[in-house]
Amino acid sequence: MENKKIPGSEAVILSLIEENVDIIFGYPGGAMIPIYDSLYDYNDKIRHILTRHEQGLVHAADGYARVTGKPGVCFATSGPGATNLVTGIANAMLDSIPMVCFTGQVGSPLLGTDAFQESDLIGITMPITKWSYQITKAEEVPEAVAKAFYIAQTGRPGPVLIDITKDAQMGMLDWKYEKCTKIRSYVPEAPVDILKIEEAANIIDKAKKPLLLLGQGVIIGRAENELREFIEKTGVPAAWTLLGLSALPTEHPLNVGMLGMHGNYGPNLLTNEADVIIAVGMRFDDRVTGKVSSYAKKAKIIHLEIDPSEINKIVKADVAVIGNSKKSLQLLTDKVKENSHDEWIKEFKKCDDIEYKKVIEKDIHPTKPGLTMGEIVRMASEKTNHEAILVSDVGQHQMINARYFKFKHTRSHVSSGGLGTMGFGLPASMGAQMGMPDRTVFSVSGDGGFQMTIQELGTIEQNKLPIKIIVLNNNFLGMVRQWQQLFFEKRYSFTKLHNPNFIMIAKGYGIEGNKVDKREDLDAAMQKMIDHDGPYVLEVTIEKEDNVFPMVPAGASVSDVMLEP
């Protein structure tokens, strides 16, 4: 198709085909009509999903990217359509999710005139994208799109935005496409320094109480096998961050659980006993470190990270290995000696026993009449043999999901980490289901977050997506209420919700559903949802004061982890 004259709008679609895009999540509008008109002739090659709100489409693109590793692609029109993407773009930026967003824009002669539905998308999104670019001429389209895909998925991934004026969409160009393989001054991945590898290996070989902290960088770098080879050779126990979940099977004998504010007792408490911390593809988020001045003071820090800006940003590294986690771990595994740390691992098991008696048993085998989040989430995991993809919204249930759902396969956990975006779960599950259509996908939300994007039930029904939607309803904004209970003398200031009939709403969209408020009905209701051929909403009434423990209070040391109020 070289040297063929085509409009800029068609060049956008052909560029996406060249980049092997198979799904676009979008919402049309006046400034995008030329692109949508061109898409009409290629709907046999690219599937377009019409969401009910722009926030839904950008979170759906995010969910798709997380389970496939491919960039999520989305379309929105100018003005309010484009600004409705901002939360989802910020979410993707903080969580390092590859995404390419296209927005329509008023014609270039009108730029800067406050024309109808004009907004300065480049100015708005510059701080929350890896790259933002405005196309004002049709001939810019192929190169800009190629560059966008290269930037989005190389190095530390992230979202990019291309804003296209209407006259650029309608202008003509000679069609030719070349994929981008290099950009001057952009170095996505530095070569690994073998001297740093040797220095790190020497420290690891001498360690008595090493602990590996694995983050999403392991998943992004497709380094899951290399991680297993490293820990199995060295005998180093590994703990995962919220976004590192599923990179290592839950039941792996060296997996000691989750880090962070609501993580497991052992990895939090024993962080301050470790003599070496090996951080792989994680950024020492405040939810992991707690009070930084008292974090891991006995440990030498080895940090394997692709993004140099994360080194020494929060926790000072004794040895920093810059580079892709897959390559770094391969080199490090070759250099370290075979070892085991049986006595050290027993310390984690002792902590596990304490946590089970004080927290876990009450969560998954409660004696109180009210249903708990833990028993519901664990049942969903067990009924799908821990094979399902879990998409979580944000709140108490998000932490419960991470604690009690089990994983056998990588890229099986989708959750908003850095931004903590309520309303993320339902639309992200759409992208996850489309990215992995042969796997069971659970969307688990609280009653608050569910209502933020509830309209996407329409998208789910229209596209017949067999998502299993669980709404955990305590008629409260649960996480805020927990803090009010524990730290603000139960002064529940504006956290109580008067909720609608969720099942009636689901049925209004043509989706089957059921509500459960008794333990004896839960098993059958859960099974009915899983067996149902199509989407299904299961609302479960839970205890109002069903809290999430363990908990590291804000500003406290990780060793001050609370097991009970």
Using CB atoms within 10 Å of the CB of residue 558, give its burial: 0 to 12 exposed, 13 to 18 middle, 19+ buried: buried
Please report the pLDDT score of residue 1 as a whole number. 44
* Closest residue by Cα to residue 212 from 198, 195, 229: 229
The span from the CA of 488 to the CA of 500, in Å, is: 28
Taking phi first (over 0 means left), then psi (-120 to 50 degrees means alpha), and beta for anything else, what does residue 511 get?
Answer: beta
Three-state secondary structure of 542-554:
CCCCCCCCCECCC
Supply the pTM of this predicted model.
0.95
The span from the CA of 286 to the CA of 261, in Å, is: 9
Q: How confident is the model at residue 368 (pLDDT cuts 50, 70, 90)?
A: confident
Q: Which residues are catalytic?
A: 54, 116-117, 166, 479
- Residue 175 in contact with residue 11, Cβ under 8 Å? yes
Please report the pLDDT score of residue 454 as a whole number. 98
Which distant-in-sequence residues (6+ apart) come within 8 Å of 482 by Cβ?
Answer: 396, 547, 548
The stretch 451-468 carries a mean pLDDT of 98
Residue 3 has pLDDT above 80, yes or no: no
- State which amino acid sits at residue 509: Y
| Token couple for 502 | 């969720």
- State which amino acid sits at residue 450: F
Residue 543 has pLDDT above 80, yes or no: yes
Q: What's the whole-number average pLDDT of the chain?
A: 95
Helix (H, G, I), strand (E, B), or coil: what is residue 50?
Answer: strand
C-alpha to C-alpha distances, 342 to 18, 173, 438, nearest whole angstrom: 52, 66, 39
The stretch 133-140 carries a mean pLDDT of 97
Three-state secondary structure of 103-159:
EEECCHHHCCCCCCCCCCHHHHHHHHCCEEEEECCHHHHHHHHHHHHHHHHCCCCCE
DSSP assignment of 322-355 equals ES-HHHHHHHHHHHSPP---HHHHHHHHHHHHHH
Same fold, 194-348 and 369-541: yes
Q: 4-7 and 172-175 as β-strands: parallel, antiparallel, unpaired?
A: antiparallel
The string of pLDDT tens digits covering residues 469-526 is 999 999 888 788 888 888 888 898 988 889 999 999 999 999 999 999 999 999 999 9
- Residue 131 in contact with residue 102, Cβ under 8 Å? no
CATH 3.40.50.1220 fits 194-348, yes or no: yes
Using CB atoms within 10 Å of the CB of residue 195, give its burial: 0 to 12 exposed, 13 to 18 middle, 19+ buried: exposed
Q: How confident is the model at residue 355 (pLDDT cuts 50, 70, 90)?
A: very high
The span from the CA of 426 to the CA of 191, in Å, is: 39
Please report the pLDDT score of residue 2 as a whole number. 53
**Around 554, how many Cα atoms within 13 Å sit in the side-chain half-sphere?**
4
φ, ψ of residue 427 in degrees (nearest 5) = -65, -35
Q: Which fold is adopted by the domain 4-175?
A: Rossmann fold (3.40.50)
Q: How many CB atoms lie within 10 A of CB 84?
A: 18
Domain boundaries, the chain: 4-175, 194-348, 369-541
The stretch 54-64 carries a mean pLDDT of 98
The stretch 161-175 carries a mean pLDDT of 97
Using CB atoms within 10 Å of the CB of residue 119, give its burial: 0 to 12 exposed, 13 to 18 middle, 19+ buried: buried
Strand partners, 105: 165
Task: State CA 88 to chain mean position distance.
Answer: 11
Q: What percentage of the chain has pLDDT greater than the value 70?
A: 99
**Around 314, how many Cα atoms within 13 Å sit in the side-chain half-sphere?**
17
Print burial letters for 48-79: b (CB count within 10 Å at least 16), e (below 16): bbbbbbbbbbbbbbbbbbbbbbbbbbbbbbbb
C-alpha to C-alpha distances, 70 to 38, 155, 184, 435, nearest whole angstrom: 23, 14, 24, 9
Residue 377 has pLDDT above 90, yes or no: yes
Residue 212 has pLDDT above 90, yes or no: yes
Sequence-ordered alpha helix ranges (H) in 272-324: 286-289
Structural element, H or E, at residue 507: helix 502-508
- Residue 471 in contact with residue 539, Cβ under 8 Å? yes
The span from the CA of 258 to the CA of 266, in Å, is: 9
The stretch 540-560 carries a mean pLDDT of 88
Instruction: Kindly compute the dihedral angle of the four CA atoms of residues 439, 446, 48, 80, in this order, to the nearest 10 degrees.
Output: -160
**Around 251, how many Cα atoms within 13 Å sit in the side-chain half-sphere?**
7
| Token couple for 86 | 């901002």
DSSP assignment of 157-210 equals --EEEEEEEHHHHHSEEEE-------BTTB-SSPPP-HHHHHHHHHHHHH-SSE
Q: Which fold is adopted by the domain 369-541?
A: Rossmann fold (3.40.50)
- Residue 422 in contact with residue 413, Cβ under 8 Å? no
The span from the CA of 16 to the CA of 36, in Å, is: 13
Q: 72-76 and 23-27 as β-strands: parallel, antiparallel, unpaired?
A: parallel
The string of pLDDT tens digits covering residues 298-349 is 999 999 999 999 999 999 999 999 999 999 999 999 999 999 999 999 999 9
